[in-house]
Amino acid sequence: MVSLAMLRGYASRATLCENRDMEHPGIRRIKEGYRCFSEGDCDGFVREFADDAVWHVRGDTPLAGDKVGREEILEFLRSLAQDTHGSFMIEVHDVLANDLHTVVLAHTTVNRDEGTYTADEVHVFCTKGGRITEAWGFTSDPGGRGKFWF
């Protein structure tokens, strides 16, 4: 049974969650990075990374492997834009963060001569000292991604 006091407590918590003025710095950092990427400013996104950051790319595509350091991460992001003729689009659905992690729930659409790849994705970023230190991307369609990038 749910009491009125329980409902009032829930409503108070829900109100706090709706206060956008209390947005976590990790959320602001990632939103800014994704905005930069969407505008073709890969350098702007990479500024949020630590010098020795690692971006882990899973799978068996030519993109797979660890990208170590800002320069390799920048090269990786630029290659995504180049290989897709600027069609790589990420629609961010939600960004969740605490002091150690920021998680992006997104939908990705990419067009190439070979066709279109579209999937839901989760991007996980580890942070330390206000910088991104590690990143992973997980797709809802790893098989489709593998076929698309070959």
List beta partners, residue 100: none
List, for residues 76-119, the tens digit of each pLDDT value.
999 888 877 778 889 999 999 999 999 999 999 988 887 888 89
Domain count, the chain: 1
Q: What is the pLDDT of residues 128-139, one digit of tens each?
A: 999 999 999 998
Q: Rounded to the nearest 5 degrees, what angle is found at the Cα of 120, between the Cα atoms of 144 and 72?
A: 75
The answer to whether 135 and 123 are in contact (CB under 8 A) is yes
Cα distance between residue 96 and residue 41, in whole Å: 23
- For range 57-82, the mean pLDDT: 89
- Three-class HEC string of the chain: CCCHHHHHHHHHHHHHHHCHHHCCHHHHHHHHHHHHHHCCCHHHHHCCEEEEEEEEECCCCCCCEEEEHHHHHHHHHHHHHHHCCCCCEEEEEEEEECCCEEEEEEEEEEEECCEEEEEEEEEEEEEECCEEEEEEEEECCHHHHHHHHC
CATH number at residue 89: 3.10.450.50
Range of the domain at 114: 4-149
Share of the chain above pLDDT 70, in %: 82
